[in-house]
Amino acid sequence: MTRPVYFKDLIKQFIWTFFDNITKIFSVSALWFILNLPVFYTIYVLLYSRITHPFLYAFLAVIVYYSPFSFGAGYYISQIISQMVTAPKFTLPEKILSMDMLKLSYFFRGTARFFWKSLAVILMLSLISLLLYLNLYFYWKIVTPRIPLLGLILTGFILWVIVIFLLMNNYLLPLLLTRETSIFRALSRSFLLVMDNVLYSLGLFLLLASFFIIMGFTMLGLLAVYSGTYILLQFLSFFIIYQKYDETIELVSETRAFKNLFKPWK
């Protein structure tokens, strides 16, 4: 019998993990932001030039989200969470024995280790996004004016495919990093996770989207908080959902009350 998954479990784990590793998360977020500055500058130039083609921005978003630096940040975060996982069969890359060993070199080690896989993911997801965009354009702009009912049905179908594809992105990076799997297998597993946990996946997507919007209002938020915090939330959500399918996996956490945020020694 699978375990029930509660959204409150994710929030609780996130708060305490963030609180315990706040300086590490800030450091990796700043590194991610600085190293992705060329892409952010490109986006700024395009906005300033009033170039608003949606696929172009979707492509740049894929580059930022699955850049080698995002893989490096994900690798770093996976090392933090590995300390909370009791199951030996859940293979994490180079599980470390002490948090004192977790240096920023792990960020660059992950970046180098997953560099080519990162480029392959960017290429594949960009092609998928392009195909979805072209299908949406074709059904809405060409089919619908000529055969309205068929065009609307096909347009609606493609919109649902796009929604599922976006939800799959919640689990894709954690699968690629923690399971060391191929891109095709990670895509298929992320699809199955979404289909078996629709409400949880929707809630996670809305939470991550809200966090992105809030952080996007300030450059300071993007610089000091966004990447490490976003990836931490995403990885924790993956571990929590994966406990349903492997009962030997368990995230270990101390029993603490919120008063410990202000008096952690009690």
Q: Inform me whether the pLDDT recorded for 22 exceeds 60.
A: yes
pLDDT of residue 138: 92
Closest C-alpha among 246, 235, 233 to residue 86: 246
248 band by pLDDT with thresholds 50, 70 and 90: low
Name the band, by pLDDT with cuts 50, 70 and 90, for residue 51: confident
Domain ranges in the chain are 7-84+101-243
- pTM equals 0.83
pLDDT the model gives residue 265 = 42
The 10s digit of each residue's pLDDT in 109-135 is 999 999 999 999 999 999 999 999 999
Lowest pLDDT segment from 20-24, 129-133, 155-159, 163-167: 20-24
The packing angle between helices 7-20 and 227-242, to 10°, is 140
Mean pLDDT of all residues in 219-225: 69
